[in-house]
Amino acid sequence: MRRPLIGVTTSRKSGWRIFPLVAFNLWLAGGRGLRWVAGKPADLDDVDGIIIGGGDDISPDLYGGQIVSSAHFDPDRDAMERSLVTHALERRMPVLGICRGSQMINVALGGRLEQDAYATYEKSDRHWTILPKKRIDILPGTLLARQAGTAPMRVNALHSQSVSTLGRGLRVAARDSGGMIQSIERIEAPFALGIQWHPEHLFYAHRQRAIFRALVNAARAATERRDQIEAVERDAPY
């Protein structure tokens, strides 16, 4: 069976070292990864699903926030990823957002962000590590719960921003101990899941691998459904 191909957006600065980790996780899950960076072609016709990766802060110009002087923006990447999310969902193509990617899913659907999340959520444990030291609570009945269970999860944390106001058709799937949103997801199909942590660093944890496996399975199912529709249309007697 063909491995679904997943387009993975990355930072122009750090993507060279992050993409191999993401691609490794996709391979373990039965898929393949294709790296995308701003300024180069990123065609949804070439892939079966997408991952919006981590990295630069999202410009507040996209959601009406205030510019923070210490933030690092990439307007070309912002434009590329917002377009990819919008058009992927229109095509019913599955989307996974990692850290910045979770925030971009929210912004692309009309939501807003907390630019200084830990100033707003003062009771949230602040960690800056790829190690799973932060505890989050997964809400029952969510897509994330179906994939990773409802037991408290230990994750890593490398973010300063977080989701605040939810975008259209989204719900909260997990929060940390201080109430900060740690995961969002679409209420209805197609598959769209955003997670605030970096599961690519936690490939040794089966619950993290399950997230990549869910994306790959959704991509395979969407591709098979599209192929069936095209076959019926091709064979129709007219």
At residue 88, the 3 state secondary structure works out as: helix
Which H or E element spans position 138? strand 129-138
Q: Residue 181's closest CA among 201, 200, 195, 198?
A: 195
The confidence score (pLDDT) of residue 70 equals 46
Extract the tokens encoding 81: 């990823």
Q: Which residues belong to the active site?
A: 99, 198, 200
**Domains in the chain, CATH or no CATH each:** 5-235 (3.40.50.880)
pLDDT at residue 67, as a whole number? 61
Along the 238 residues of the chain, how does pLDDT read in single tens digits?
799 999 999 998 888 899 999 999 999 999 999 999 999 999 999 999 999 999 888 988 898 776 654 457 899 999 999 999 999 999 999 999 999 999 999 999 999 999 999 999 999 988 899 999 999 999 999 999 999 999 999 999 999 899 999 999 999 999 999 999 999 999 999 999 999 999 999 999 999 999 999 999 999 999 888 777 777 777 767 6
CA 165 and chain centroid, separation:
17
Whole-number pLDDT of residue 9: 98
Q: Are 149 and 89 in contact (CB under 8 A)?
A: no
Would you state the torsion angle of the CA atoms of residues 125, 177, 206, 223, taken in this order, to the nearest 10 degrees? -110
CA distance 161 to 58: 9
Strand duo 170-176 + 181-186: pairing:
antiparallel
Helix 75-90, helix 100-108: angle, nearest 10: 60
Count of C-beta atoms within a 10 Å radius of residue 60: 18
| pLDDT given for residue 235 in this prediction | 72
The residues facing 113 across adjacent strands are: 163
Query: For the chain, how many residues are written?
Result: 238
